[in-house]
């Protein structure tokens, strides 16, 4: 739904509990210049990294009250599992479980809307012959 995608560039360092964001920039070149000016390796030899983030992601969906749902569906369209998920949106890909059922995460108004979106993805996967087929 987003039309004007804007990206910010975060300079970070470390991993796990040592991870931190040091600075945030509107231009990648500024983030690179920051690293060039201030990068000193830490005790573990880790330097600074640049991470890209969307600025104001899912604005329309947030305003419309959408939630994230997990949907598992059989190839014939039977809903096996549907539940509301906590956490940040996990993308719009489709995946297949060990039983060859499709599952995906969708942003939707409610359960029925989530099923509709998942079913559209199921139909497209079938049309494109992308359904995971067991050997």
User: pLDDT tens digit string along 114-134?
Assistant: 999 999 999 999 998 888 655
Instruction: Give pTM, 2 decimals.
Output: 0.66
Residue 91 has pLDDT above 90, yes or no: no
Residue with tokens 């990206």: 7
C-alpha span between 25 and 127 (Å, rounded) = 42
Per-residue pLDDT at 59:
86
Per-residue pLDDT at 45:
65
User: pLDDT tens digit string along 32-87?
Assistant: 999 989 877 665 667 899 999 989 888 888 889 999 999 999 999 999 999 999 88
Q: Which residues pair with 8 in a beta bridge?
A: 53
Looking only at the bridges linking them, the beta strands covering 67-73 and 20-25 are: unpaired
- Could you tell me if 9 and 31 are in contact, meaning their C-beta atoms sit under 8 angstroms apart? yes
C-alpha span between 67 and 53 (Å, rounded) = 20
C-alpha span between 123 and 97 (Å, rounded) = 17
Per-residue pLDDT at 1:
45
């Amino acid at each position: 739904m987003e039309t004007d995608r804007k990206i910010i560039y975060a300079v970070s360092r470390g991993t796990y509990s040592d991870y931190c964001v040091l600075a945030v920039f509107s231009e990648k070149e500024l983030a690179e210049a920051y690293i060039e000016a201030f990068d000193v390796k830490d005790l573990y030899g880790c330097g600074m990294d640049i991470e890209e983030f969307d600025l104001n992601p899912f604005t329309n969906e947030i305003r419309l009250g959408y939630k994230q749902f997990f949907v598992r569906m059989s190839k014939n369209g039977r809903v096996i599992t549907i539940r509301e998920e906590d956490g940040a949106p996990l993308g719009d890909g489709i995946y297949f479980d060990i039983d060859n059922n499709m599952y995906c995460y969708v942003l939707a108004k409610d359960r029925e809307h989530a099923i509709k979106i998942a079913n559209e993805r199921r139909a497209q996967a079938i049309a494109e012959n992308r359904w995971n087929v067991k050997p």
